[in-house]
Amino acid sequence: MRERLIEILGKTAAPEAVAWLQQTVAEQEKNFQQRPFYYAFSGVSRRFDKKATTDAGDDQLASLAEAVPGFTVEDWDEFRLARVILLTVLAEQEKDIFLENLKALIGTADLREQVAIFSAFPLLPHPEALVEFATDGLRSNIIDIFDSICLNNPFASDNFTDEAWNQMVLKAIFITRPLYRIVGHGERTNLALAEAISDLAHERWAAGRMITPEAWRSCTNLLDERISGDFAQMAGSSEANDRSAAALVVCAADGKLDSLRDSLSNEIAAIQSGELTWHSLGQTMEEQLVRKSLT
């Protein structure tokens, strides 16, 4: 895995910076020393371009995802990737040394260093010991830190309890994060989360407000009488995204919502053609949010 990451970093980073990183990795692998490791972790900012984005090819991204399902470095900057590479060296140490140093790093890390640390969690050992770090990180009011744990990161899906998972998804809804980028969002459905989303939707509807249509993905195949009624309301919405979400659930509902098919015929046709998916809906909504923020 480390060699694949270094190869990706080398596509954009200065050769001398990559050479420094490789030498540091080799030295720390041979003889791990806490202080030089900390200096190197911080020193990434002096070696790499803080504005440069890595450029992994599709084959490289696929290779990473094959090795660690759900893991990606897409759109990472060089700082983030270089620090994750260093953390793979820390991951090779004895458990006590690994956890002691990881805790110290998190406790002293700046914003970009914390983002790198949480991004590395899918590659690190002892995940049961990392869950508390991740759930603490999700309490942050800093979007970049929250996103590094919640979005495009399989750690939460693979390791969180339902309670921790539900809290993360609900916070993502409250702070308007793109839910389609939560790894496992379509698989980790559970009744407590579905009921919480229905309750939130009713609160917002009563106040004349909306809930993100993406949230309803967590209710798929958990269609009691009340939640089924929610989809009848969604199907009759004047908002295209609401109807799209309703249609996606209808198509996955094993006939339980077939009474809504006629009112969603256009959206269902788009699903059948492959034009409409949860991913495409999420992308559309994210693009709309960006455009709105620029006006």
Q: Give residue-wise pLDDT tens across range 244-264.
A: 999 999 999 888 899 999 999
Q: Tell whether pTM > 0.85.
A: yes
pLDDT of residue 41: 95
pLDDT of residue 222: 86
Query: How far is the C-alpha of 141 from the C-alpha of 155, rounded, in Å?
Result: 20
Query: How far is the C-alpha of 276 from the C-alpha of 105, rounded, in Å?
Result: 43
Q: Averaged over 216-227, what is the pLDDT? A: 88
Query: How far is the C-alpha of 132 from the C-alpha of 41, rounded, in Å?
Result: 22
pLDDT of residue 256: 86
Q: Do residues 35 and 64 lie in contact, with contact meaning Cβ atoms separated by under 8 Å? A: no
Q: Which two tokens stand for residue 1?
A: 């895995």
Query: What integer best gives the mean pLDDT of the chain?
Result: 94
